[in-house]
A and B are shown apart, each in its own frame.
Chain A
Amino acid sequence: MPPKRQIRVGSQWMYARDAQRALEEAIRVAEEERGQHEHHVPFLRKYVFSTDHKWIGIQYAITALTFLLLGFSMMLIMRWQLAFPGRSMMDIPLIGSLLVKFLGAANAPGGVMLPEFYNQLGAMHGTVMVFLAIVPLAVGAFGNYVVPLQIGAPDMAFPKLNMMSYWMYLPGGLIMLSSFFIPGGAANSGWTSYPPLSVIATDGQTVWILGMVLLITSSLLGSVNFIVTIFQLRAKGLTFMRMPFFVWAQLVTSFLLLLAFPPLEAAAILQFMDRVAGTSFFMPSGLVVSGTPLANAGGGNPLLWQHLFWFLAHPEVYVLILPGMGIIAEVIANNTRKPLWGYKSLVGAGVFLGFMSFVVWAHHMFMTGMGTVISAFFQTTTMIISIPSVVILTALIISLWGASIRFTVPMLFALAFLPMFGIGGLTGLPLGLAASDIHLHDTYYVIGHFHYVVAPGTIFAMFAGIYYWFPKATGRLMNEKLGKLHFWASLIFINGVFSPMFLQGLMGVSRRLYDGGAQYAHAKPVLHTNVFISASAWLLLLAQVPFIVNFFYSMFKGKRAGANHWNATTIEWAATTSPPLGHGNFVHMPVVYRGPYEYSVPGYDAADFLPQTIPDSEPLTPTEAGGGMLAAGAVAQKEL
């Protein structure tokens, strides 16, 4: 179909498509010229202590993905013990003897892991996954790479703080991991570190606290930076209600990090004092450990820790999910080729979700005997917070209605996210009600519930994001076939891992058992599912091989991608392919003329997408449907 519309470029009229090609060519030439003038940036400055948000984003991505694999591996080792309690890991085919040698006789004498080591792996799996893998990936990586591009900014508002944020995160993570090598091993009181257990635990817990303080500082620097960047560096014309939903999600997330993390920092300081200076903030009077009364002053309150911890950790749940929702919204709009349904509701729900997330924390504590009044309050707020989540999910599902969907790899992950997150969310309702929580609390049901939210929920969203923005970051495409293999295998096995856990939990199997429940009569009927779960988990690891291969192969050898490979509307696609490091992002500072999801605009026949940065100067014939859009554009131009 020949292009019909003409636009004015400088003093000339030309077809939109020609203009686009010419602009791309001009940008390429400008890039080349710029490359010739480029001065040598020292290696350390460019690749290690970089202040460029794009490279910092990539640093975050690679580090966080490594931690993700590491946290996953810890669980894979634990799953052997759960599936075959007491059986030597020497029996594992191929890697058995190597693994046993790696773990050493101190942790797994004769190839059977010690209960203490199992506890260390459990605590570190949770910590690594939440604080070192998912949040840095969702916020540090995607936030850093995409947000400044999507709002048309040259970089983050504080590039040096941005660098510092990464360089707090990496040492924080390494310090935390180093605790495996000190006497007594790593922290072993669960990722929640409940006192008094955590206060009398081995030295690994102190290292855990030090690591957490670095991570908290890192996310504090990051969140201030994101909020200032989004408020201050939005391109001309990019009003708040024209921001992509992803940017909104990152903005709300940053506020959550900013305001929820400090109480955990306070709690970490207090626990540190309890452990090192002998205070009793969390230590009640009259504690007897192994037959010996503790020498501390007493009078403290273990519940205080739980309040401070969950005051962070509940907003943290939304830190985990909101950026994921943002990515899914971008991918769905792009692959349905139509505007998101209910953009305003999405934004409203996201902001409301952020507010509500600060008043639901004690639904993690129904079993602590807080009293029925407090329980009633928190179960009410918990039911209320489910509403915005449902609004967001519903809007995303309705967005699919009547679309001619492009089943690209990112879209497959996005489509899978919807029901998977749905399962995770709906199974949370019985946990939010005090009465049913009494039965389900601390069982595998809980594990199943939040892993459905985070693993096939957030992690699938992260995969969608990686496949979606890979061409922008590297200039190359990821392989479609390997991507589909990765998707289908992951989808099948991840359900194999988590769905039987609901069954186990409903039978009352506790989540913290070293033998997976073998010594409990009530667990007998569901004990066999442990083998199935473990097998699924190991196969899930295999399912990641195509992704890892694809990631590195495509980075160097993938098919080259254009600047706007997906024909998307948002501003990051107006930058060049793989914008060069150490420079501003855009050849021209972009100016924004419309909302983020102008796909298949009626009356605009040149293409099925109308980027935010293309001026309205083009003489469109206002059709009945397009009139509104044009009028809006005209008003917008006046505002500028």
Chain B
Amino acid sequence: MTAHVDLHAVPGHDAHHEIEIPYTVHPRPDTGVYNGKLGIWLFLASEVMLFGALFSTLILLRTSSNHWPRGWEELNIPLATLNTFILIGSSVTVILAWANLRLGQLKKAKIFLALTLLCGLGFMIIKSIEYASKFQHHHYPSTNNFFATYFVMTGLHGLHVLGGMIVFAYLLLTADKWYAKHRDQFTNRVEVTGLYWHFVDLVWIFLFPTLYLL
């Protein structure tokens, strides 16, 4: 018996090439997203649980406490308000960076990425001024549970801001190379980082009233 099985469709395998994973750049038709986008949404879902647990901690400790300082008695509202606007502004600039990439305007996109990075930097500088003044007044995490939750929640949020800044710096430094090599992929990277950045922004929008205003 002569069995002829058609094998001409075997793709050329070459160890130098990475295995081609489908839908890394373009969306899968039935799910409507590319891999990275779904990945970041799932990651953000887990982040919601992380910060959710901390907010629950705050609620539980505060409701069971006899004396819980009002946020505005202990914390600096003007500085925090300024920080709120800086972060919201950075959420806008990151969108503009992505939109410009979609339009093919790499230069503009880079400017907006740099602005986003600067906003992040500004936020961190203001935050560190706040921290320094707390330490000056001998307010530490160990002082009481109000400051413990304040430092842990804003500290963890600050780490998230820092993480975002590192990614933006990386995107800026590699922008030309990646844009030339694979424009769509680079645009996706900015989009995905932007989604993360919005989340970091959103966490602050919850943190600000809960810690400072209530």
Binding site for B on A (CB under 8 A): 9-10, 12, 14, 18-19, 21-23, 25-26, 30, 34, 37-41, 153-155, 157-159, 220, 223-225, 227-228, 231-233, 258-263, 265-267, 269-270, 273, 277-281, 296-297, 299-301, 304, 307-308, 311, 582-584, 587-588
Tally of chain B residues near chain A (CB < 8 A): 53
Cα(A583)–Cα(B10), bound, Å: 13
Residue from A34, A157, A158, A584 whose CB has the most chain B CB atoms within 10 Å: A157
* Residue B6 CB within 8 A of the other chain: yes
Contacts of B9 in A (CB 8 A): 588
A273 to B152, CA, bound (A): 8
Query: In the complex, A30→B143 CA distance in Å?
Result: 69
Which chain A positions have C-beta within 8 A of B7? Answer: 26, 30, 587
Residues of B bordering A, CB below 8 Å: 1, 3-7, 9-11, 13-16, 18-24, 28, 31, 33-35, 38-39, 42-43, 45-47, 49-54, 57, 60-61, 64-65, 140-145, 148-149, 152, 156
Q: Which of B10, B45, B152 contacts A258 (CB 8 A)?
A: B45
* Also in contact, A231 and B141, with CB within 8 A (given A270-B57, A304-B57): no
A433 to B42, CA, bound (A): 35
Judge whether A224 and B50 touch: CB under 8 Å.
no
Q: How far is the CA of A261 from the CA of B64 in the complex (A)?
A: 25
The answer to whether A9 and B6 touch across the interface, beta carbons within 8 angstroms, is: yes
Q: Does B53 lie within 8 Å of A297, measured CB to CB?
A: no
What are 25 contact pairs spanning A and B, CB under 8 A?
A23-B5, A25-B3, A30-B10, A155-B21, A157-B24, A157-B39, A159-B21, A225-B39, A231-B31, A233-B22, A258-B45, A259-B49, A262-B46, A262-B49, A269-B156, A273-B141, A273-B148, A277-B142, A280-B142, A280-B148, A297-B144, A584-B11, A584-B20, A587-B7, A588-B9
B3–A299 touching, CB < 8 Å: no
Question: Which partner residue on chain A sits nearest B11 by CB separation?
Answer: A584
* Complex: chain B residue closest to A261, CB-CB: B46
Interface SS of chain B: helix, strand, loop or mixed? Answer: loop
Task: Select from chain A the residue with minimum beta-carbon distance to B33.
Answer: A232
Once the chains bind, are A224 and B42 in contact (CB under 8 Å)?
Answer: yes
Question: Which chain B residues border A273 with CB–CB below 8 Å?
Answer: 141, 148, 152
The 8 residue pairs across chains A and B that have the minimum distance between CB atoms: A22-B3, A278-B142, A266-B53, A262-B50, A39-B15, A263-B53, A262-B49, A279-B148
Q: Are B46 and A19 in contact (CB under 8 A)?
A: no
Inter-chain contacts of B18 with A (CB < 8 A): 159
Cα distance A73–B71 in the bound complex, in angstroms? 52
Name the CB-closest residue of A to B68.
Answer: A299
- Chain A residues with CB under 8 A of B145: 279-281, 297, 299-300
B60 and A301 contact, CB distance less than 8 A: yes
With contacts A19-B3, A280-B148, A584-B20 taken as known, whether A228 is within 8 angstroms of B42 at the C-beta atoms is yes
Knowing that A269-B156, A281-B149 touch, tell me 16 more A-B residue pairs with CB under 8 angstroms.
Answer: A22-B4, A23-B5, A26-B7, A40-B15, A158-B35, A158-B39, A159-B18, A220-B43, A227-B38, A228-B38, A262-B53, A267-B53, A280-B148, A296-B142, A301-B61, A308-B57
Smallest CB-CB separation from B49: which chain A residue?
A262
Q: Once the chains bind, are A232 and B54 in contact (CB under 8 Å)?
A: no
Q: Is A299 within 8 A of B144, CB to CB?
A: yes
Give the chain B neighbours of A14 by CB distance below 8 A. 1, 3
Complex CA gap A92/B124 in Å reads: 61
Judging by beta carbons under 8 Å apart, are A157 and B3 in contact?
Answer: no
